[in-house]
Structure 1
Amino acid sequence: MFDFCSSMTEEQDGRARELIERAAAKWPLRILHVLSDAGAPLRFSRLMERVEGISQKVLTQTLRTLERDGLVIRTLYPQVPPRVEYELTPLGHDLLMQVVSLWRWIVEHLDDFDARKAVKLTAARG
C-alpha cells in the first residue's frame, strides 16, 4: 500500500509533508472549493465575499501560496483600475477531487470518532 514511500528520498518526503500541511491548513481547501464551485475565474473581492471569515491579509497570503504551489492561476488584466482574477489549475482541481474522498470518509465516520471521544472522556472522569 505504501510501497511508493520506500522509494522516496528524505527531501521528497519532507516536501510532500509540507504540501500536505499547507493544503490541510484552515483556508486553502476552502478557497479551492469556492473556486471550483464558481466554475469560472473570480475576482479577489468575490473570493472575500464567498470565503466567510477570512481576512484580506490571510486571503492574499493563502492565494500567493496556492499560486506558488501551482494550484491556482492569478491573471492580471492591465486596465485602470487593475483587475485580478483567480482560478483553479488542473493540479488544483485534481487535489480537490482527491481530498473529497477523504472528506467523505471522515464525514461518514464522525459518529465513530465522537463515540471514541466520549469513551475516553468517561474513562478519564471515572
Structure 2
Amino acid sequence: MKTFILTSIFLFSFFCLVNAEQSANYREINEIISQLEILHNAGIKIKKLNTVEVSELRGCVDKYGHLRNQAKELRAKVQNLPVYKYRFELMVAADSAFTCVYCGGTGRGCEDIQNSIKIVRGYLDEDQAVESNHK
C-alpha cells in the first residue's frame, strides 16, 4: 500500500511537471517574433547594399554587425522555450536571421524567417483557440 501511494504521488507530480512544461508563453513568443521581424527588415536593407567593395562591406559591418550578435542571443533565448513546436520553428527562424543579417551574404535566410513566423503564428492561433474553447 505504501508503495502504491508513493508511486501515485510520483506519477501525479511527474504529470503536473510535464503539463506545466508544455504551456506556451505567448507573450515571450510574440516578443521573439517581433525581434525576428526587426532582423528580417534589416537583412532586406543589407541585401540591397553593394558589399562587393571593401569600403561598403566595412560600412555595412559597422552599421549592422551587431545584428548577428542579436540573432545569436535570440537563438539562445529560443532554446529555452518549453514547447517543442515553437522552439523548433523559432530556432529555424533565428538561424535564418543570423544568415540574413550577414553583410557579405546573399540575404537568402530572410525569406526563411518569414516562412517560420507564418508557421508559428498558425500555431499560436490554433493553441489560443483551443484554450478559449476550454474556458
TM bracket (short chain): 0.3 to 0.5
Higher relative contact order, structure no. (Cα contacts within 8 Å, ≥ 6 residues apart): 2
Q: Which TM-score applies when normalising by structure 2? A: 0.32
The structure that is strand-richer by fraction is 1
